[in-house]
Amino acid sequence: MPRFVLTLRCPDRPGIVRGLASGVFSIDGNIVDSSQFSDVTTGGFFMRMEFDAPDVNGDEVHTHLAAELAEFDPELTIRPQEQRRRALVMVSKQDHCLVDLLYRTGLGELPVDIPLVVSNHETTRATVEAHGIPFVHLPVSTDTKPEAERQLRELVEEHDIDFIVLARYMQIVSDETCEALYGRIINIHHSFLPAFKGAKPYHQAFDRGVKVIGATAHYVTADLDEGPIIHQDVAHVNHAVGPDDLVVIGRDIERLVLARAVRLHAEDRVLLNGHRTVVFD
């Protein structure tokens, strides 16, 4: 039977789970996995469910379950599990995160399709095209930035893109694009937010004698590096580790954190909760 992935966000009140379970049962569905969270601070209810259902398509399932849950004012998404998310990857010159994403996607570790890669430099063209993926060069300067972002939004529509991954894309995304694609742009930040922002974060960390360095994957918002956090990780270091060593260690963390965030998003495991996230991992 086809398997579906459902996410639900609504105000918390009694009867939500019962109503959803009854709705799945009424289409002869079978729930195979379910996670939920009630946020006592905001009064919100969040849920992710996987269920099998025979002889129905996604639109029919959505219409039926939305009707069953109408009294709860739900924000509901339903996706056939076999329908992979389409990710547009953006990169500048540093390619370690890009190469890792391409490698993991090629192995089938990431449940995404990458129909194209966009860059403001030509540096990674050969790498991308070697994977059989179209490469689009969109140069960015003060004068060309509005036009470049307009073209980017057109590419998102043209290629039916579900979300964008900034794999060390070193340009600030405009407020207009952030608003148009809210909750659909993932960035990897080369530090354990909120510390050590700006240029050469690993050198800043070294100068402060840190014992932990890290990386943060988050959704992009108009507030620079302050979007809802999806995933973070750290590595412990000591006094003998120099700034160049920190860069090497940091690259490994960035690759792992970004890949994890992409997988979580692609599997519908991340639900926005104001400035925070609920992550069913």
CB 95 within 8 A of CB 127: yes
Q: Could you tell me which residues come within 8 angstroms of residue 153 by beta carbon, excluding any fewer than 6 positions away?
A: 177, 180, 181
| Tokens found for residue 201 | 């974060």
Residue type, 68: E
Exactly one of 39, 225, 233, 252 is catalytic; name it.
225
State yes or no: is 225 an active-site residue: yes
Phi, psi of 255 (to 5 degrees): -60, -45
Q: Is 152 exposed, middle or buried (0-12, 13-18, 19+ CB in 10 A)?
A: buried
* Cβ-proximal residues to 273 (8 Å cutoff; 6+ apart), any chain: 9, 39, 42, 44, 46, 228
Known catalytic residues are: 225
